[in-house]
Amino acid sequence: MAEKDFEKQVQEGKKIPLLTPYKMGKFELSHRVVLAPLTRLRSFGNVPQPHAILYYSQRTTKGGLLIAEATVISDTARGYPDTPGIWTKEQVEAWKPIVDAVHAKGGIFFCQIWHVGRVSNTSFQPNGQAPISSTDKEIYPQIRSNGIDVAQFSPPRRLTTEEIPLVVNDFRVAARNAIEAGFDGVEIHGAHGYLIEQFMKHKVNDRTDQYGGSLQNRCRFALEVVEAVANEVGPDRVGIRLSPFTAFMEADDSNPEALGLYMAESLNKYRILYCHMVEPRWKPDAENVECPHGLVPMRKAFNGTFIAAGGYELEDGNDAVAENRTDLVAYGRLFLANPDLPKRFEIRAPLNKYIRETFYTRDPVIGYTDYPFLETKI
C-alpha cells in the first residue's frame, strides 16, 4: 500500500497501523501481525504430525504471514527431541496437509530452516557422533526453559573448510524440499546461537580459515547459505532471521551493531524478500530489558521487507509500524496463546495468558490447540 493511503486509513481511524495491508514482494498481506517461529516439540520422530494442521490453521488469517517452527535440515541438525524435519520424503509429505490447511484459509506460510550446530549432544546425532560447529568449544550445561531440567551438550567437532559447502548444500536442499511441501518460502534461521550464529559471532568463532577472524569472514557462511538458497528457490521466497544482540547459547558478539549492519547491507546484494530481526531488549525466559529502537540502523540499511520481533505488544507494535521502524511485527508468545491475535488487536480485546509450562510438552492438544478463541470465551 502506498504510504499516503496508509496514513489516510490510520488518520481516518479505520485501521490501527498493525492491521493495514502491506505488499511483501509478490505477497499481498492483509495485515502486519506475523506468527513468529515457535518450536513446540510435538513432531514425533522429526515428522510433522496431523495435530499441527489444527494448530497452524487456528493461527491463520486471510493474507496473514505465518512462519513455521524451526525445522531441521538434516540428521546432524537436531538438538532437541521431536522437532520437525524437512530432509526426508516422509517429512515433506507430512508437511503437505499442514501447508494446505494454511493455504485453504488464505495464509502465507514460510518454513524456518534450521541447523543447531553445537547446541546438541551425541544422543541426537547419527551414529552418536559429535555435533558439528564452527568451533570445537563446547557449551556449558544450561537450565532448560522449564527451569528444572538441565540440557547437556557434547563437545562439538569443528567443520573443516572443505566440509562447509556440504552444509550449505543441506540448507539448499531443505529449501527446495520446503517449496516441494507447498510452503510459500523459507526463513533461514540465522539467530539464537545456532549453527549460522556460531560462525557469525565473534565469541564463538575461533577459526583461522576464510570463515573466521574478520567480520566479513565470520559472515561468509551465512551469506553462502543465503546465496545458495536464493539461487535454488528464488530470492523472492527467502527471508532470514538474525539476532545480533542476543547471547543465547553463549553466542555473544563484542560489536553486535556492526554485525547486524554488515549483514543487513550484505543481504541487499542477494535481493532476498525479508530480514527478520530480534530486538536487543528480548531475553529468553525473562522480562524485556530497556533498550529503545535498537534495530533502526539495520531497518534503514536493508532494502527489502523488515520484520521486528521480541517483546512486542499491541501499542508498541503499532508505534513501530506507524513510525516506520519496521514493516511487520512478529509475535511469539502472544500468538501462541491467542490464535485469533489480529482479531483481538482489532477490537482491543483482552488476551489469553500464555502458559510457559506447556510450551514444550508433547501433548497434541493441551497448551497447543486448546487456547480459546474470543467467541468461545464470552
Q: Minimal distance in Å, beta carbon 191 to ligand FMN? A: 5
60 contributes a contact to ligand FMN by CB under 6 A? no
194 is catalytic: yes
Q: Which is nearer to ligand FMN, 6 or 69 (CB)?
A: 69
Q: What is the DSSP letter of 330?
A: E
Q: Give me the DSSP letters along 16-36.
A: -GGGS-EEETTEEES-SEEEP
* Nearest by Cα to 134 from 153, 112, 116: 116
* Radius of gyration (C-alpha) of the chain in whole angstroms: 20
Question: Is residue 191 within the footprint of ligand FMN (CB under 6 A)?
Answer: yes
Chain centroid to CA 142: how far?
21
Say if CB 57 and CB 47 are below 8 A apart.
no
Among 15, 333, 343, 362, binds ligand FMN (CB under 6 A): 333
Q: Which of 174, 309, 320, 321 touches ligand FMN by CB under 6 A?
A: 309
**How crowded is residue 78: how many other Cβ atoms within 10 Å of its Cβ?**
23
The answer to whether the CB of 83 falls within 8 A of the CB of 69 is yes
Cβ partners under 8 Å of residue 224, min gap 6: 164, 165, 168
Cα(189)–Cα(168) distance, rounded to whole angstroms? 13
Catalytic residue among 55, 194, 211, 262: 194
Q: Is 112 in the site for ligand FMN (CB under 6 A)?
A: yes
312 binds ligand FMN (CB under 6 A): yes
Between residues 24 and 330, which has the closer beta carbon with respect to ligand FMN? 330
Q: Does 260 bind ligand FMN (CB under 6 A)?
A: no
Q: Is 222 in the site for ligand FMN (CB under 6 A)?
A: no
Of positions 36, 65, 94, 230, contacts ligand FMN by CB under 6 A? 36
In the block, which residue shows the cell 492491521? 19
| By the rule CB under 6 A, 38 interacts with ligand FMN | yes
| Site mask for ligand FMN (CB under 6 A), range 61-80, x = bound | --------xx----------
Report d(CA 73, CA 57) in Å as an integer: 24
**Which of residues 20, 39, 177, 246 is near ligand FMN by CB under 6 A?**
39
Nearest CB to ligand FMN, comparing residues 6 and 360: 360
* List 56, 245, 248, 282, residue binding ligand FMN (CB under 6 A): 282
Burial-class residue 362 by CB neighbours within 10 Å (0-12, 13-18, 19+).
Answer: middle
- 65 or 130: whose CB is closer to ligand FMN? 65
* Nine cell digits for residue 44: 514425533
Of 107, 38, 111, residue with least CA distance to 337: 38
CA angle 232, 103, 94 (to 5 degrees): 70
User: Least distance to ligand FMN from the beta carbon of 92, Å?
Assistant: 19
Among 332, 339, 342, 367, binds ligand FMN (CB under 6 A): 332
Q: Decide if residue 317 touches ligand FMN (CB under 6 A).
A: no
Which amino acids are annotated catalytic?
Answer: 194
Binding site for ligand FMN (CB under 6 A): 36-39, 69-70, 112, 189, 191-192, 241, 278, 282, 309-312, 331-334, 359
